[in-house]
Structure 1
Amino acid sequence: MKESPLFAKSYDFIRWLIPQTVKFPRNQRFVVTERLQTTAMDFMECLYQATDKAQQTTALKQADVKLKQLRFYLRLSHDLTLLDTRRFEHASLLLEEVGRLLGGWCKSTV
């Protein structure tokens, strides 16, 4: 079975994010780093829960909330100069594509 682009793009984002956050200063690792990584993993878990028809609507709504949180944490990381502009733009583009794919899935379930 071919993997959904949403799952592949989300995985690619997490695979990119983790090495980036490890580079954050030590004093931010237990605040911003932990939040970013945990939220990204929670987002992916919501997607997997959404594959179960019984949980789909709730899980997709939760995934949307997690995506908004990820955007916030990334913006905060950039504002705190933990992520440079180039990396922030790259992450934003990745999340924009993930958001479009998630929105398409949400619309198809209505």
Structure 2
Amino acid sequence: MSEKENVITHTYDLLKYLVPQLAKYPRQQKFLLADRIQLKVMEILDLFIEAYYSSSPQEKAALLRRVNLQLEKLRYLIRLSNDLRCINEDRYAYISRQVNDIGKQAGGWLKSLAA
């Protein structure tokens, strides 16, 4: 499996993990914070798929830069979830590691385009 396919699978796996976790959020956060997190991860997955199928290296790079921005926004949403005690420390640590790994893979893909 190529690095590009791996990051798409990794993002999908994160989404699959998050969906049942987000359903457990307190009611007052479920329809705002939880929905925003789910939509953000879905947007990141969409951008990766678009980059994978794009034929232009410049377009791929632009999409991957957008991924980096969305990942940073996601990090803050996840951090807020932890601060509001919607997720426990163990889940926060796991999700943060996954997001950071996805970011590293995206950065590697972006660097490979510059080479």
TM class by shorter chain equals over 0.9
The one-letter code matched in structure 2 to 1:45 is D
What percent identity do the matched residue pairs reach? 28
- Say whether residues 1:58 and 2:62 are aligned partners: yes
Task: For residues 19-75 of structure 1, give each alpha carbon's deviation from its aligned partner in whole angstroms, at most 9, with x where no partner exists.
Answer: 111100111112101110000000000101112033312211111111111111000
* Alignment counterpart, residue 77 of structure 1, candidates 78, 81, 103: 81
After alignment, is 50-59 or 99-108 more displaced?
Answer: 50-59
Task: Determine helix, strand or coil for the equivalent of 2:73.
Answer: helix
- Say whether residues 1:105 and 2:109 are aligned partners: yes
TM-score, structure 2 normalization? 0.90
d(CA) in 1 for partners of 2:55 and 2:63? Answer: 10
Q: Count how many residue pairs are aligned between Structure 1 and Structure 2.
A: 109
Structure 1 moving runs of 4+ over 2 Å: none
The equivalent of 1:94 in structure 2 is: 98
Q: Within 5 A, what are the aligned runs for 1:31-50?
A: 31-50=32-51
The one-letter code matched in structure 2 to 1:21 is L
TM-score, structure 1 normalization? 0.93
d(CA) in 2 for partners of 1:56 and 1:103? Answer: 12
Kindly state the Cα deviation for residue 88 of structure 1 after the two structures are TM-superposed.
Answer: 0.2
The one-letter code matched in structure 2 to 1:78 is N
Unaligned runs of 5+ in 2: none
d(CA) in 2 for partners of 1:9 and 1:74? Answer: 17
